[in-house]
Structures are given as structure tokens and as C-alpha cells.
Amino acid sequence: MIEIIVLGSGNVATHLFKAFSAAEGVNVKQVYNHAEASLDFFKGETKTTSKISELAEADIFLLALKDDVIPQIAEKLSQKNGLIVHTSGSVPLDALSTCTRRGVFYPLQTFSKEKTVDYSQIPFCLETNRVEDLQLLKDLAGKISGKAYEISSQQRKQIHLSAVFVCNFVNHLYAVGEQLCQKGEIPFEILKPLISETAKKIEQASPAAVQTGPAMRNDVSTINTHLELLGSSENRKIYELLTSAIQSFHGKKL
């Protein structure tokens, strides 16, 4: 049985808490948050506290907290015997340097409060300062997911950066698509099968190998029609830059 104390009450804390609670061989002993009111969801499920001084001992202390408070909370846990881990994509392992046993347990996924998540599909990026603790984190990931990767702090930074492109920036392009549909009084529904297929396509193929569209075809007439439609909007800048980026990536020239 792996005993855990979760610190935090946001999306990541809530989703991981649910996953651990449903899993065999994991026990969430306690949930901490500095604001008592945020603990309502966890009350009745396990013990809760808003005081660091009231924290029990555990195998793992999971800091699912905002990036900038991780070092100061970790410092307060420096006397604990358990493994202190954070769940952030962009915070280095060294941010926990006040703790003897430290690690990272970063789930590479986008969490929404309402939407349930299939943990068997989530890659966990793991890192520890002690070799023997890596196995503990692998065991923990194994309880809720099939996929664990050993990833250094530097690699994790690079993964987090990549995630901004394929998740946050992609989502903004979806938002632009919705905005353009609204402008043309077209239901956004009509684009959803295309969005879904575009994501599915790269499960089997390299995205570079399946690039299509006017930029790739060097279809100047369509590109000009589109620029005209976009007028002088912010979206025009995106169209121009991504068209030229696709062409330079694939060695084409307008």
C-alpha cells in the first residue's frame, strides 16, 4: 500500500485524488490546502487540513500546487521522511532542494474540472534525485496508468514547451475557427469532424508527412482570397505567419 498526502485542491489535485481513490494499493491519507473552503470536495472522502503543522507522515507528499508556491511549501516539509514530489511541467527538480528525497510526478494532460479523464491514456513524466525513489513513482503511476517515462528537468521543460504548441496554441486556432464560423453565420459543429480527424491522423503518421493545405500546395490564389477575407484582423497575422512557417519548414517559397 502506497500512502499519499495531496497538497493542493485545483484541477490536477482533484483529478489525481479521484484516480488514486479509485485505484487498488493507494491510500490518500490526507489532503491539505491553505484555504479551508477549497477542501469541501475532499471532506468525507479523507482527512483534510489547512495547516502544514497538522500533516501526518506518508510515503509520498504530492505537491499539486501553483508553480511559484512549490519551493516555499517544500521547505516546510523538509523534516518529513517521505518522498516530496511536485506535479508541474515547468518547475525543475531543484526547486525541492530543501528536501532530502525529492521527485517530479508530472501528468502530461489538459485537465478540466468537469471532464473525467482516462488515466490509462496519460503519460507520467517521472524524475527523482535518488535512484531507488524512481521505482516508487513508477509503482504509483502504474496503479493508475500504463505509461511512465523517465524525464529529466531539462527534457520536461522542452515537453512543456511542446505542449503549449500542440495544446494551448492549437486550442486558440480552434477558437479562431469558431470566430470565423460565427462571422459567416455557420454552425461551428460543421468543423468538428475535421478537427477530430486532423488529431487522429497523426496517431499513425508524422505530422510533417501529412501536411496539406494552400501553403503546402503553394496555392497563391487561395492564399490571396483568404487574406482578403481576413482583412486587417489579428487572425490575418496568424494566417500570414503560419503560411510562411509551413513553407519554410517544408522548403517551399511563395
In this chain, which stretch among 20-28, 47-55, 72-80, 173-181 interacts with a second copy, using CB under 8 A?
173-181
Burial class (CB in 10 A: 0-12, 13-18, 19+), 1: exposed
**Which residue lies nearer to a second copy by CB, 2 or 159?**
159
Give the angle 152-67-7 at the CA atoms, nearest 5°: 100
Q: Which of positions 153-172 make contact with a second copy (CB under 8 A)?
A: 154-155, 157-172
Residue 187: CB partners within 8 Å, gap ≥ 6? 181
Which stretch in 20-28, 41-49, 51-59, 230-238 sits in contact with a second copy by CB under 8 A? 230-238
The pairs formed by 202-207 with CB atoms below 8 angstroms and a separation of 24 or more are: none
List 23, 39, 93, 242, residue binding a second copy (CB under 8 A):
242
214 contacts a second copy (rule: CB under 8 A): yes
Residues numbered 97-156 forming contacts with a second copy, rule: CB under 8 A: 108-110, 112, 115, 117, 121-123, 125, 147, 149, 151, 154-155
Q: Closer CB to a second copy, residue 134 or residue 180?
A: 180
Q: How many residues does the chain have?
A: 254
- Cell output for 115: 471532464
Binding marks (x or -) toward a second copy, 54..73, rule CB under 8 A? -------------xx-----
Helices and strands (H, E) in the chain, number of each type: 9, 8
The answer to whether 2 contacts a second copy (rule: CB under 8 A) is: no
